[in-house]
Amino acid sequence: MKNNRNQALIDKLTQLKKERNAVILAHNYQLGEVQDIADFVGDSLDLSRKAAKTSAEVIVFCGVLFMAETASILCPDKIVLLPEINAGCPLADMATVKKLKEEKKKHLNPYVICYVNSSAEVKAESDICCTSANAIKIVKKLNKTKEILFIPDQHLGHYVSSQLNKNLVLWHGYCPTHVRILPEDIIRLKAEHPQAKVMVHPECTPEVISLADEVQSTVGMCKFAKETEAPEIIVGTELGIIHRLRKENPEKRFFPATEQAICPDMKLITLKKVVWSLEKMQFQVKVPTEIANRARRAVDKMLELG
Ligand code: CIZ
C-alpha cells in the first residue's frame, strides 16, 4: 500500500524534475525516503558545489535553511527550493549579526571563522567559513597573530583547538541534537559490542569525543565505514545517516549511539513535500546579492585553503 503511494509520488517527481530541469539534493541527515529519491546525498558544502556544476536550473535542497542559503550563495543564477520553510537550524540561530558585532568589538576585531551551520548574514560578517570536514585543515593553515573567534559551535571549536593545540575564542553555541548523545550511551554500547569501532561527530561534547576511535564529519563517516575492516560501528551523530551507512555497507552493522539523536528540523522534509515543492516551486530561498557577495568571499576563502 505504502509502496504504491510512494511509487506514484516518485513517478510524479520524475516528471516534474524533467519539466523544471531540476536536481534534488539531500543531506545525510534526511529521511531515508528522501535520500532514496535524491540525485546526490552528502554534506551541505559538497551538495552545493555539485549543484553549481550541474546544468540544472532548479535546485531542490532537502536539508535546513542555512544549507539552501549556501546553495543560493554558490549558485546565484539558479532557483533554490527548500521544501519546508520551517526547517531551520537552532545551532545556526545561536549566532546573530548583532551578537557577532558585539563580540568583535570585545575582542578588538578578531579573525572570524564561521562553521557552515550559520546564516548567510553571519557568513557575510565572517572572514572565512569551514565545515566539520575541513575545520582542522583550515585553522592549521591560518597564520594569524590576532585572536581567532570560532562561531557558533563550541564543541567543534573545542575539538579543533585541542587537536592543534591552538587557542580559539569559542562562541557558546551547540547542536541540541548532538548534545543528546551522552558518554553513558557510548560506554553501554561499547560493553555490548566490544569489537565495534566508535565514530562520532565533532559537534558532540568533549566527553563523548574522548570515547571515540574516530571523530568525523558525515562525509568522513561514510568514507571510514567503507574503508574500515571493523564489521560493527557505533555511530554518534544524527540518526538519518544510518540509512545511508546501511545501504552502502550491507555487510556491516551500525548501532546509533542513541535513538534520541534526531534533528526535528531535518525530519520536516518528506517525499510528499519534495514533490509539492517542485510542483508549486516553493519555498524559494534567495540570499540578497549584497549579502551573498560578502558571504561568498568567506566560502571562497575556505575553498582556497581547504
Ligand atoms: O556540513 C554539513 O553538512 C554538516 C552540518 C555536517 C556534516 O558533518 O556533514
Q: Whose CA is nearest to atom 4 of ligand 1?
A: 43
Question: Mean pLDDT across the stretch 139-154?
Answer: 93
- On whether the CB atoms of residues 66 and 92 are closer than 8 A, the answer is yes
Q: Which CATH superfamily is domain 2-87+266-287 in?
A: NadA-like (3.40.50.10800)
> In this structure, which CATH number among 3.30.70.360, 3.40.50.1820, 3.40.50.10800, 3.40.50.720 belongs to the domain 91-175+291-305?
3.40.50.10800
Question: Mean pLDDT across the stretch 287-304?
Answer: 96
Q: Cβ neighbours of residue 203 under 8 Å, at least 6 residues apart?
A: 91, 132, 153, 155, 156, 174, 175, 178, 237
Q: What is the pLDDT of residues 42-73, one digit of tens each?
A: 999 899 888 889 899 999 999 999 999 999 99
DSSP conformation letters of 257-306: S-TT---TTGGG--HHHHHHHHHHT--B----HHHHHHHHHHHHHHHHH-
Q: How far is the CA of 2 from the centre of ligand 1 (A)?
A: 31
Q: How far is the CA of 275 from the centre of ligand 1 (A)?
A: 24
- On whether the CB atoms of residues 278 and 70 are closer than 8 A, the answer is no
DSSP letter for 195, please.
T
Give strand pairing partners of 153: 173
What average pLDDT does the chain have? Answer: 96
Distance in angstroms (rounded) separating the CA atoms of residues 149 and 104: 8
CA nearest 114: which of 132, 102, 126? 126
Q: How far is the CA of 43 from the centre of ligand 1 (A)?
A: 5
**Burial of 24: CB neighbours in 10 Å, binned 0-12, 13-18, 19+:** buried
Q: Which CATH superfamily is domain 178-256 in?
A: NadA-like (3.40.50.10800)
Q: How far is the CA of 67 from the centre of ligand 1 (A)?
A: 9
Using 50, 70 and 90 to split pLDDT, how confident is the model at 2? Answer: low
Pocket around ligand 1: residues whose beta carbon is below 6 Å from it? 27-28, 43-45, 116-117, 131-132, 201, 217-219
Measure Cα distances from 75 to 54, 68, 226 in Å.
10, 10, 31
Give strand pairing partners of 233: 197, 254
Distance in angstroms (rounded) separating the CA atoms of residues 190 and 200: 13
H or E element at residue 155: helix 154-164
pLDDT of res. 265? 98
pLDDT of res. 143? 83
Using 50, 70 and 90 to split pLDDT, how confident is the model at 5? Answer: confident
Question: Mean pLDDT across the stretch 104-117?
Answer: 96
- What's the one-letter identity of residue 113? I
**Burial of 199: CB neighbours in 10 Å, binned 0-12, 13-18, 19+:** buried
Q: What are the residue ranges spanned by the domains of the chain? A: 2-87+266-287, 91-175+291-305, 178-256
Phi-psi region of 164 (alpha: psi -120 to 50; beta: other; left: phi over 0): alpha
pTM of the model as a whole = 0.96
Distance in angstroms (rounded) separating the CA atoms of residues 150 and 162: 13
Q: How far is the CA of 188 from the centre of ligand 1 (A)?
A: 26
Question: Mean pLDDT across the stretch 188-202?
Answer: 98
- Using DSSP, state whether 179 is helix, strand or coil: helix
Phi-psi region of 144 (alpha: psi -120 to 50; beta: other; left: phi over 0): beta
Structure-block grid coordinates of residue 182: 551522552
pLDDT of res. 144? 76
The residue to mutate among 25, 27, 69, 119, having the most atoms of ligand 1 within 8 angstroms of its beta carbon, is 27
- What's the one-letter identity of residue 267? K
CA 196 to mean position of chain CA atoms: 25
